[in-house]
Amino acid sequence: MSTILNFPEPYYSENNIRYVFLDGRSCKQTDDCYATLQKQLSLPDYFGNNLDALEEVVNDLDWIQEEKIKIIILNSSELLVNEADKKESFLDILNECDNEKLEIIYLGDGSKTLEY
pTM comes to 0.82
pLDDT of res. 113 = 42
Q: For 104-115, how does the pLDDT look when each residue is reduced to its tens digit (9 = 90+)?
A: 999 976 444 444
**Domains defined along the chain, listed by start:** 16-107 (3.30.370.10)
Q: Which residues contact 54 (CB under 8 A, 6 or more apart)?
A: 34, 37, 90, 93
pLDDT of res. 88 = 95
Q: For 58-87, how does the pLDDT look when each residue is reduced to its tens digit (9 = 90+)?
A: 999 999 999 999 999 999 999 999 999 999
Asked if 90 and 28 count as a contact pair (C-beta separation under 8 A), the reply is no
